Amino acid sequence: MKISVIIKRLKNPRVRRRLKIGLSVWGGVILIGLTFKLGYDIGHFDAQSLKNEKNTELSTINPPSLTMESAQRVVSGALKEDPLNPKTIVEQIIDDNYKLSTIVIKNNELKQIAWIIDMRLFFKGDLFNNEGYNLTEGMEQQHNIIHGEH
C-alpha cells in the first residue's frame, strides 16, 4: 500500500520537477567537492615533488665526503677484517671525491694506493684512465710510495 502511494506521488509533475532540482543540486555539490579534492591533491603532489627536487638539489650540492673512519669501515668490510682490530689500515685520504676516492692503505709496513668507488666499493690494484695512463702508478710516484705487489 505504501509503495503505491509513493509511485502515485512520483507521477505528479510538480514532485518530479522538485526531485530533479534536488538531485541536480546534490550532484552539483558532489561535483564541486570532487573538483576541489582533485585540485588539492594535484597541488599537494606538485608541492611534494618540488620539495623532493629541493632535497635532491641539496644532496647534490653537498656530496658526501669520505672520512678516515668511513674509509676504514669500507676497507675492513671489503677485506672481511675485524673492524675493531683491522690488519689493513687506511693511512691517508688523497682525494675524497664521492665517486672515486683515492686512499693510501698500509698492511705489514707495505703502503699501497687503493680506490673507493661510490663511497662503498673497495678496489686495490692498477686503475687506468681512458687514455691508458696507469693512475695507480702515477699516484705512487706522486706520493713517494714504493711500488709494491698488488
List, for residues 57-84, the tens digit of each pLDDT value. 666 666 677 888 888 998 998 888 888 8
| pLDDT score, position 28 | 96
Domain 68-142 in CATH 3.10.450: yes
Cβ-based neighbour number of residue 13 at 10 Å: 7
Q: How does residue 25 score in pLDDT terms, banded at 50, 70 and 90?
A: very high
Alpha-carbon distance of 74 to 78, in angstroms, equals 6
**Domain spans of the chain, in order of start:** 2-61, 68-142
Cα 82 to Cα 95: distance, rounded to the nearest angstrom: 25
